[in-house]
Structure 1
Amino acid sequence: MNTSRLKEAVDETPDVMGNHKEGLMALKASDRKLIIVPNSRKIGGSLDIDNTTKRLYPNDTRWDYAVEYDDEIFFIEIHPASTTKIDVMLSKLEWLKEWLKTKAPRIDALKAKSKPPYHWVHTGSSKIAKGSKQYKQLATHKLLPVKVWDYAHL
């Protein structure tokens, strides 16, 4: 893989400048094991959006990570999955989309188009029943929680 497109975009985004990490190093060690890709050489890097922007937006519900794979950016949130967390997750998604549009347009321009760009990887077991009102609400936003982020099965 050549120069990371995510790194270039991060370095042109004041909120996160200089915080691009090689591979999945921006992710906590416990979160890295939840990411599965067919070819690790295609990982162009990662960004911890949450911790990098915490100082700027301390009271906001910030999104966790951006991960570059095969020249596209995927936005991944690692969070417990229960019906009481849905509003939090939708708030995080809304924050991310607004932040990308207003503060990080270079990163936004790289978001995945071949597969859905936004993903919720749940910790523990999912307590959201398929077919429930909450499940349908998440499906509308294309944000159904998964156990692992597996690129081959997105």
Structure 2
Amino acid sequence: MKHSKSKTHSATSNPFKNAVESTPEINKGYQVGLKALGNYSNKVQLGDTSKCNGSVDIDACTQAIYPQDNRWDYVFGYNDKAYFVEVHGAYTGEVSVVLKKLEWLKDWLIHKAPELNKLKAKEQVFVWVQSNGNHILKNSPQNRRLAQNGLTPVASLIVK
């Protein structure tokens, strides 16, 4: 019997959903499409929506476990790769907060979400989506710290 590849994923052939379900701290947070991003779903533009594997609000799922930590916001799967999105005001004074969130996420992926960690996209893996314009001073030390960490606030994330 021949199996054809479908553009949509069943639960068993969706590596993103499987990775989420194998991560105890977020295994109840899987949402179809970009629903986990709520009102911020319009900040992500997908080249082919049929390749979206689902999404999770990491912050909401882990808030009770890490109430004092700076937690990253979202992850979504696209074409069997994971993309991590932080929607946050892009102000010079917020750079250290977002960098703490990035550090938290990277540590969490290694220690708590290894299956999700394996699915990280090669490019645009950690993205800061500005919630209301970019107000970070271009020549500031904070802007240099962002560049050193590979983060630049963007108006929206476009994944092809």
Conserved in 2, the CA contact under 8 Å of 1:6 and 1:20? no
Conserved in 2, the CA contact under 8 Å of 1:63 and 1:95? yes
Of 127, 130, 149, the match for 1:119:
127
Of 70, 81, 87, the match for 2:90:
81
* 1:40-119 equivalence runs, <5 A: 40-113=49-122, 115-119=123-127
Unaligned runs of 5+ in 1: none
The alpha carbon displacement at 1:41 in A equals 0.7
Give the aligned length. Answer: 150
The question of 1:21 aligning with 2:1 is answered no
TM normalised by structure 1 equals: 0.93
Conserved in 1, the CA contact under 8 Å of 2:96 and 2:142? no
Larger radius of gyration: 2
The alpha carbon displacement at 1:131 in A equals 4.0
| Partner residue, 2:140 | 132
Supply the RMSD in Å over aligned alpha carbons: 1.1
The question of 1:6 aligning with 2:43 is answered no
Q: Deviations over 1:65-98 (max 9, x none)?
A: 0011111100000000011000000000000000
Q: Deviations over 1:75-122 (max 9, x none)?
A: 000000011000000000000000111011111111112x13100000
| Partner residue, 1:147 | 155
TM normalised by structure 2 equals: 0.89
* Counterpart residue identity of residue 52, structure 1: C
SS of the residue corresponding to residue 124 of structure 1 reads strand
